[in-house]
Amino acid sequence: MTGVNLVDCSEKGCYVEGAMLTDVTVDGLLVEEAMPLKLAGCVFHRVTLRGELGQIMIRPKLHMAYRQSQPSYDAANSAAYAEIDWALDISGARGCAVDVQGIPSRLIRRDPETQAVMTFEQALGGAWREVDLAGTPFGVHAKIILETGAEDMVLAADHSSANFAHQVAKLAELRKLGCVLPD
């Protein structure tokens, strides 16, 4: 999919799998509650997500019915990410948190106040466990990094949450303790 601009759209239970998304902008997306937009095994190249967004889940793994193809997708996606200038811009995303796994964080443009990067080494170091992360998804994200062996992951405060300010404060605390990369 190339050169697509979607403005103030809605979706209900959509699932995009194994696509190459290039020069795509989504500016405002209403998502059916409890049915996030799922993007699995896709490659992102200059994709911008901004405005009010519902829940979006980006995952590196294909649906279980296609798992036999996973090694081919992993190799192709790694090769693609080695060649591109940037993959995903979530710096202007508002609304629900955009949950990103499988895209190297160095290729993600983000808002440093509300989004941070935790590396595998930082998750493994465990200093994040000293921070009371109740009311945030960050402890779960650290565990996902450890369970999957991911190189890193973007932690994003949820703009739609009643405790958004609390989440931003916890990101700042994690940054101060060296649990996420400095910006």
- DSSP states of 7-56 as a string? EEEEESS-EEES-EEEEEEEEEEEE-TT--EEEES-EEEEEEEEEEE--E
Q: Domain limits of the chain?
A: 1-110, 111-183
Element (H, E) at 49: strand 43-53
Q: In angstroms, rounded to a whole number, what is the distance separating the alpha carbons of residues 179 and 133?
A: 12
Helix (H) or strand (E) holding 117: strand 115-119
Q: What is the pLDDT of residue 161?
A: 87
- Kindly tell me if the per-residue pLDDT of 101 is higher than 80: yes
Q: pTM for this structure?
A: 0.90
* Range with lowest mean pLDDT among 24-28, 59-63, 123-127, 155-159: 59-63
Phi, psi of 115 (to 5 degrees): -140, 135
Confirm if 40 and 15 have CB atoms less than 8 A apart: yes
Q: Are 22 and 2 in contact (CB under 8 A)?
A: yes
Segment 120-134 mean pLDDT: 96
- Using DSSP, state whether 23 is helix, strand or coil: strand
Question: What's the token pair of residue 119?
Answer: 């590396």
